[in-house]
Amino acid sequence: MLSIHFPAGCNGMVYISIFYGVKQIYPWREGQYFRGNNETITVHDEWELPEEKVTLTIKGHSPGTSYDHTILIRIVTTRKEKSMEESQARKALVKLLKFLTRVIGVD
């Protein structure tokens, strides 16, 4: 999960993008940026990282303004094994709910 909080006062004039090496990974299209004002942008995404250490580069700029801004960025990671266990648990829950809806006659 990725969340980027733009505090009040940014007025959409602070631009943030995240790179893995030279490849821009957030936002997904090269040359696009996240921006906002008094809001948090949250992206629920699964992106498998390689086995070795990974360096992400966060690029930010604010053209046309001389005010300082502090942007809060949170990246939450999960081990693949845990993610797979959670996925299996979700599938089992969906299967159980489908069975129960059939048993009680709800379509």
Q: Where exactly are the structural domains of the chain?
A: 2-76, 79-107
Q: Tokens representing 63?
A: 């053209």
Residue 17 has pLDDT above 90, yes or no: yes
pLDDT digits (tens, 9 = 90+) for 80-90: 666 667 777 77
What whole-number distance in Å separates Cα of residue 80 and Cα of residue 31?
Answer: 30
User: 3-state DSSP call for residue 28?
Assistant: coil
- pLDDT for 14: 94
- pLDDT for 8: 94
Answer yes or no: are the C-beta atoms of 14 and 6 closer than 8 Å.
yes
Burial 74-103 (b: 16+ CB within 10 A, else e): eeeeeeeeeeeeeeeeeeeeeeeeeeeeee
Q: Tokens representing 54?
A: 């990974």
Q: Which has the minimum average pLDDT: 16-25, 33-42, 92-101?
A: 92-101
